[in-house]
């Protein structure tokens, strides 16, 4: 008996893996992994011979983490410069009076 769900699932996995390995990917992997991230995290892609959703999740986490870290570093630099200028003004005020 032909199982259409199994056929479609394999077709979809192959299409996602081929898109991921292509020179100009269209983003099928992101759409595929976002749809059901908990169940698809350990799904093995036969054409890629790896767990592509794990790779995608890790890359997405790193990109998001770096974005937040860049903003955090800018805030820290801003506070440091503000503190330095405030301290310099206070020191200058104390020296002159």
Whether the Cβ atoms of residue 37 and residue 53 lie closer than 8 Å to each other = yes
Q: Return the number of other C-beta atoms located less than 10 Å from residue 61's C-beta.
A: 10
- pLDDT over 70 at 78, yes or no: yes
User: Could you give the percent of the chain with pLDDT greater than 70?
Assistant: 78
Q: Give the pLDDT confidence score for residue 52 in this predicted structure.
A: 82
pTM: 0.63
């Amino acid at each position: 008996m032909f199982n259409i769900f199994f056929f479609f699932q394999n077709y979809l996995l192959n299409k996602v893996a081929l898109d991921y390995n292509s020179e100009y990917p269209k983003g099928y992997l992101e759409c595929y992994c976002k749809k059901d991230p908990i169940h698809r995290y350990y799904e093995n892609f036969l054409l890629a011979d790896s767990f592509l959703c794990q790779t995608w999740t890790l890359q997405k986490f790193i990109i998001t983490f770096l974005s937040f870290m860049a903003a955090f570093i800018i805030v820290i630099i801003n506070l440091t410069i503000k503190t330095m200028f405030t301290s310099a003004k206070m020191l200058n005020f104390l020296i002159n009076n």
